[in-house]
Structure 1
Amino acid sequence: IEERVKDALNRMTLEEKVKMIHAQSKFSSAGVPRLGIPEVWATDGPHGIRPEVLWDEWDQAGWTNDSCIAYPALTCLSATWNPEMSHLYGKSIGEEARYRKKDILLGPGVNIYRTPLNGRNFEYMGEDPYLSATMVVPYIKGVQENGVAACVKHYALNNQEFNRHTTNVQLSDRALYE
């Protein structure tokens, strides 16, 4: 595969390379049709695959007339302590993503709860790292069985939404590893 990638890169123009790494919309990157490289489409949403949105707005695009499935919060899934259920949940989300022609799922979120005030706690699998790991692995495998890449996000210490890109989260190594 490395040789194929090198060959494609050698045949691409600088403009084509830039287009591939620079988003063409909120959820897609350009392909290179002359080389058979398709566009890449991603989807975001912690509890299912959102309906398509317009390229430059958050309004629904109306490309499909069907509705999307709203799955239970990952906190609820994690509370089952059932890895098989987590696999089925991920597989179902992966099937819907594939149906909607999505290549990448921006999720799951794997942060652990450090404060009850985090407005995104519902997207994570709890405060127990062992339970989170037990449940997230089969979820990801289920998603990826459908040819959809799962992109883990909010990996650690995403404790708040307000100024989250500039907030300095401080903790000791011991607290981080516990």
Structure 2
Amino acid sequence: MAINPATINPLALPSVSLHQRSQLPSQPCIYFAIDLDGQIQYIGRSINPKARWALHHKYSELHEIGGIRLSYLHIDDVSLLSQIEAALIAWFNPPLNQTTNLNPFASGMLGLRLRVGKRAEEIAVELGVAVSTVRNWDQLKTAPRMTPVGLQKLMQVYNCTFDELVQAKLESENV
């Protein structure tokens, strides 16, 4: 069963509130934790989501966000669960699946982004650049070009000073 992530709308899938997680199915599923704004916060997989969510490691974080719904996509072939989950995580890029969010020592542009608590998609929209551009900055593959007009926008979006921005750019370039 091949799944194209672009054809999946997690908002249209069956769902339960986080507090009703005991009502999740016991069949193999991919599950999506979705906030009140319709943003996917986390994606996971389980052969028994009902049992998995009895003591899920992301429960506290999701509970703090509030208003979380768990939607689920039944998967018949259990051997494909991890592949489908990986494809959906890559497609939707949920913040709680990003291990880089756990790095308090991140530097460069990633350090600035994590400090302001914004997802790569948010930065991209605010700056009018591709998400891949922001991810390249985060992964130290490239550094932003700093035109006079762009400097002000970068400082505003990253909520930083000129010196912090220049330092982050230098860290990104010296890898």
**TM-score normalized by structure 1?**
0.25
**TM-score normalized by structure 2?**
0.25
Greater fraction strand: 2
